[in-house]
Amino acid sequence: MHTIRTVEAAAYVGQPVRLTGWLHNLRQLGGVNFIVLRDGWGAIQAVTESEADLEPLVGLGLESVIALTGVVIATPQAPGGVELHQPHIEVITPITETGPVPLNKRQIQAGLPLLLDHAVVANRHPARQAVFRLAAGAMAGFRQTLLAHHFTEVQTPKLVASATESGANVFELNYFGRPAYLAQSPQFYKQIMVGVFARVFEVGPVFRAEPHDTTRHINEYVSLDVEFGFIESHFTVMALVRAVLAGLFSELAAHYQAELTLLQANLPPVPENIPHLHFAEAQELILKQHGVDVRGEPDLSPQDERWLGEWAQQEHGSDFLFVTGYPMVKRPFYTHPDPANPAYSNSFDLLFRGTELITGGQRLHLYGDYLAALARANLPAAPFETYLEAFRYGMPPHGGFAIGLERLLMQLLGLPNVRLATLFPRDQKRLTP
């Protein structure tokens, strides 16, 4: 007899099988008993009219770990189209205590604090499982697309000797008696690695000591990072962003329909050419369409982004919009200026449904330009010595981008809080579970 996963049951109609998992639900309705087993991939229902079949569950509660043995019956009206009849029930781990969060309702009936305090158990809920299965699928789709484009995966250090992009908002620790910091991003290392492999990507944690208390910020998140050489400009990077998003969503479309349906989420079509607007054009558009003059502002506000998102949808039928050429003054020192107008940069943000999802651009690649940029930013060169070595000994024009995995899920799934896209979120108040 095969031991199978719930999602495989439809392929075993008429055959005896064994399934293992958690007692997700038990309903006794007028002499008919429904036992629902949940495993790591889905759920299956077993039906019996015999009280004797239920004997092993007497006195036990939900989340008891069990095995069900029985013949798979095609049952169109059952969830998943199959069920077991008159199962043999074996108890693997008996549970009697009632859990902190009910798991057997379609919607999770718990507020955010309760959900996060008890994430250890709450993440077992099918709707929570679905979010994190999609996270795994997003990582897989990201990597597959980049491997197909001949990128090499790297793992760069998270313990660093100096704060990278900015001195503020960095976690400091005691490293054998001297200060070390947690990397805010793999930015410097991924650039260095362009000198080695020309095209690199990394999936890993980044740490931001930002004292933000918003629905969009957490202090540790998973960053999907890309960097590559021999580009023309930031438009080469934007073309890769487009390919990566298309590859990522097509992986989800191919293998995660059940999760998307459960979460009532729609995958956005990724246009062959994602529309783009220059930063200055975007500000003109806002003035023209909404009568609000934001020209001269060095950045876009959330309201600006929403307006631009609406415009992209109306004008181009696109959930996505690139805004290019952000002013240099708001971009980090390694940003490449627009050669035609050096107050603007060869950088971009990708707005997804009216909210920034991805930031990227072309970087400086000449050693002399780095020395000048650090001087302009009033930064000493010494802490950047090893980073600068990459440029001193030959770097091509290059650029890249980063996607926050949790933000991507939040926006894709319409979650009200990024914490709901994080297994065990870290914020100012939360270090557990």
Angle CA 105–108–113, to nearest 5? 150
CB of residue 265 to its own copies, shortest distance in Å: 18
Closer residue to its own copies in complex, CB, 8/284: 8
The whole-angstrom separation of Cα 74 and Cα 229 is 55
Closer residue to its own copies in complex, CB, 85/392: 392
CB of residue 370 to its own copies, shortest distance in Å: 12
CB of residue 315 to its own copies, shortest distance in Å: 34
Closer residue to its own copies in complex, CB, 68/321: 68
CB of residue 28 to its own copies, shortest distance in Å: 21
Closer residue to its own copies in complex, CB, 230/257: 230
CB of residue 380 to its own copies, shortest distance in Å: 15
2 contact partners, CB below 8 Å, separation of at least 6:
12, 15, 17, 18
CB of residue 259 to its own copies, shortest distance in Å: 11
Closer residue to its own copies in complex, CB, 264/432: 432
Closer residue to its own copies in complex, CB, 23/277: 23
How many helices, marked H, and strands, marked E, lie in the chain?
11, 19
Give the DSSP H/E element, type plus range, for residue 51: none
CB of residue 31 to its own copies, shortest distance in Å: 28
Number of CB atoms found within 10 A of residue 411's CB: 22
CB of residue 178 to its own copies, shortest distance in Å: 8
Residue 148 CA to chain centroid, in angstroms?
20
Number of CB atoms found within 10 A of residue 175's CB: 12
Closest to 331 in 3D by CA, of 234, 202, 225, 229: 234
Closer residue to its own copies in complex, CB, 67/294: 67
Closer residue to its own copies in complex, CB, 51/232: 232
CB of residue 254 to its own copies, shortest distance in Å: 13
Q: What is the DSSP letter of 376?
A: H
Closest to 22 in 3D by CA, of 67, 82, 62, 65: 65
The whole-angstrom separation of Cα 415 and Cα 353 is 13
The whole-angstrom separation of Cα 305 and Cα 239 is 21
The two three-digit tokens of residue 325, written as one number: 């050429």
Angle CA 297–208–163, to nearest 5? 90
The whole-angstrom separation of Cα 407 and Cα 98 is 33
Give the DSSP H/E element, type plus range, for residue 217: none
119 contact partners, CB below 8 Å, separation of at least 6:
423, 424, 433
Closer residue to its own copies in complex, CB, 40/269: 40
